[in-house]
Amino acid sequence: AQSVSQHNHHVILSEAASLELGCNYSYGGTVNLFWYVQYPGQHLQLLLKYFSGDPLVKGIKGFEAEFIKSKFSFNLRKPSVQWSDTAEYFCAVILNTGFQKLVFGTGTRLLVSP
Amino acid sequence: DSGVTQTPKHLITATGQRVTLRCSPRSGDLSVYWYQQSLDQGLQFLIHYYNGEERAKGNILERFSAQQFPDLHSELNLSSLELGDSALYFCASSEGRGGTDTQYFGPGTRLTVL
């Protein structure tokens, strides 16, 4: 069955540290890839998305992600995290692009200590 | 603020009861999606409506049903509630019917079944 895996369930970093969150999907066809963020007590917000073209995608708040087709991966990165980045991060994939059935990973909780 | 509204924010009810969750999409969006977020299952896609018609079904129980009305708002009906139905229910909307549209999420309704 198609799935999305996020390797790290909890990540703790100090401010200014670099961040990389892993995301792998298991689907052989064409995919659209997303990273969403959920700040404490808030709704899901789109960080960035990849549909086609340049596999290095830049999103909001200094985040970027790289699509590596051969590895079925779409890892999220940020060179220097801030305390305000404390949140839960979800990788998501759209399968069967005729229908917008988003499949989410289990999420990674990021805690950034000041 | 994503522009997607959901009511109520919180709902506490007893097992066996029936509740209705309401979602209003962003202005101009024709698609509405429902998701369930629980600790054990993560974020799960339930159902997608486009312009009043059902487009795709996910892991939606038979006790649950949804509809999208002519004014494009949507309701998710949950009946014969069980303790395990306690979760955060998100609605999302997008402009088109599928493929490359970005989904915008509402703040969610937290359902507690006692």
Q: Do B105 and A104 touch (CB under 8 A)?
A: no
Q: Do B56 and A101 touch (CB under 8 A)?
A: yes
Average pLDDT over residues B11-25: 97
State the nearest Cα–Cα gap between A13 and chain B, in angstroms: 23
Q: What is the DSSP string of A26-70?
A: E-SS--EEEEEEE-TTS-EEEEEEE-SS-SEEE-GGG-EEEEEGG
Q: How many angstroms separate the most distant Cα atoms in chain A?
A: 44
pLDDT category at B47 given cuts 50, 70, 90 is: very high
> Which site among B4, B43, B54, B95 would you substitute to test the A interface, given the most A Cβ atoms closer than 10 Å to its Cβ?
B43
- Give contacts of B2 with chain A, Cβ < 8 Å: 43, 45
Half-sphere exposure of B15 (CA within 13 A, CB side): 4
pLDDT category at A97 given cuts 50, 70, 90 is: low
pLDDT, residue B42, reads 86
Q: Do A32 and B100 touch (CB under 8 A)?
A: yes
Q: At A53, which amino acid appears? A: G
CA distance A8 to A102: 20
Percent of chain B that is helix, strand, coil (3-state, to 5)? 5, 55, 45
pLDDT, residue B51, reads 95
Instruction: Compare A76 and A30 and report the one with higher pLDDT.
Output: A76
Instruction: Compare A91 and A1 and report the one with higher pLDDT.
Output: A91
Judge contact between B7 and B64, C-beta under 8 A.
Answer: no
Residue A58 has pLDDT above 70, yes or no: yes
Q: Do B105 and A106 touch (CB under 8 A)?
A: no
Total length of chain A: 114
pLDDT category at A111 given cuts 50, 70, 90 is: very high
pLDDT category at B102 given cuts 50, 70, 90 is: confident
pLDDT, residue A100, reads 61
Task: Give chain B's contact residues with A (Cβ, < 8 Å).
Answer: 2, 4, 31, 33, 35, 42-45, 48, 55-56, 58, 90, 92, 94, 97-108
pLDDT category at B99 given cuts 50, 70, 90 is: low
Judge contact between B53 and B72, C-beta under 8 A.
Answer: no
- Give contacts of A108 with chain B, Cβ < 8 Å: none
Both structure tokens of B50 = 């486009």
Half-sphere exposure of B32 (CA within 13 A, CB side): 32
